[in-house]
Amino acid sequence: MLLLVDAMLQSLDVISFNLWQVLISLANLLVLYLILKHFLYKPIRKALEKRQQTLDEEYSKAEGARASAQQYEADWNGRMQTAETEADRIVAASEARAQERDRAMLKDAKQRAGEIIRQAEAEAELEKKKAGQEIRQNIIDLSALLAEQVLPGQLDEEGHEALIDSVIRELDKTGSDGAAGYRGRG
């Protein structure tokens, strides 16, 4: 207990105010302020400012690059569009041309086919006529032969031929009725 009181009494002389010490301490703080200002804050601020400057420059550069890139893109897009329309146009034109040619070819083919058919018909007609004449000649020959057998010597060949020919012509003219009349008479 006594020790404690003694300590407290001693502690009273801890609070001793000294003018010069106060002034020195004041100066100390000022000196430290100057030290910090010149040796810590100044170089660091300088570095920070420089970095900010570089950063700003880089940013503006990047901005410019982006703008030019956008312009390039727009340019490219426009060119692409024109190329597409051009391609479309070319395709449409060639399609139209192909169709035209198709149609022409078809028409040509049809025409030619028609010609061929007509020719064939004409030939057939001719053939028919020829066949008819041949048949008639054969009949005439046959009937003349028969008549010679039935009435030998009475009939000369030329006179009979003319007769039979006229009969056949008549038959030809009357058609099926003529043919029936001829049979009834025979």
Partner 1 sequence: MNDKTKFRLIDILLIIGMILPLAAAMAVKILFTPYEEGIAVHGALVFFTIPMPLQELPIAESQINSWMLIISIFFFCLFMTHGTKEKADTKRQHICEWIVEKTDSLVGENMGEYFKGFSPFVGAVLALSAFSSLLSLLGLYAPTSDINIIAGWAILVFLLITYYKMKCGPLHYLKSFTEPVAVMLPMNIISEIATPVSMTFRHYGNVMSGSIISILIAAALQGLSRLLLGWLPGVLGEIPFLQIGLPAVLSVYFDVFSGMLQAFIFAMLTMMYVSSAFPADDYAARQARKRKKNA
Residues that bind partner 1 (CB under 8 A): 3-4, 7-8, 10-11, 13-33, 35-37, 39-41, 43-48, 50-51, 54
E strands, 51-172, are: none
Shortest CB 24 distance to partner 1, Å: 6
Of 35 and 142, which CB lies nearer to partner 1 in the complex structure?
Answer: 35
Shortest CB 61 distance to partner 1, Å: 17
Of 53 and 174, which CB lies nearer to partner 1 in the complex structure?
Answer: 53
Shortest CB 15 distance to partner 1, Å: 6
Shortest CB 87 distance to partner 1, Å: 52
Of 37 and 61, which CB lies nearer to partner 1 in the complex structure?
Answer: 37
Of 26 and 90, which CB lies nearer to partner 1 in the complex structure?
Answer: 26
Shortest CB 1 distance to partner 1, Å: 11
Shortest CB 5 distance to partner 1, Å: 12
DSSP string, 1-29: -HHHHHHHHHHHTT----HHHHHHHHHHH
Of 4 and 150, which CB lies nearer to partner 1 in the complex structure?
Answer: 4
Extract the tokens encoding 107. Answer: 């028409």
Residues 124, 115 contacting (CB under 8 angstroms): no
Of 58 and 86, which CB lies nearer to partner 1 in the complex structure?
Answer: 58
**Close Cβ partners of 160 (under 8 Å, ≥ 6 residues apart):** 143, 144, 147, 148
Rounded to 5°, the CA angle 134-138-144 comes to 145
What's the Cα-to-Cα distance from 160 to each of 5, 142, 148, 168, 180, rounded to whole Å?
192, 11, 9, 12, 21
Give CB contacts under 8 A, 24+ apart, made by 127-132.
Answer: none
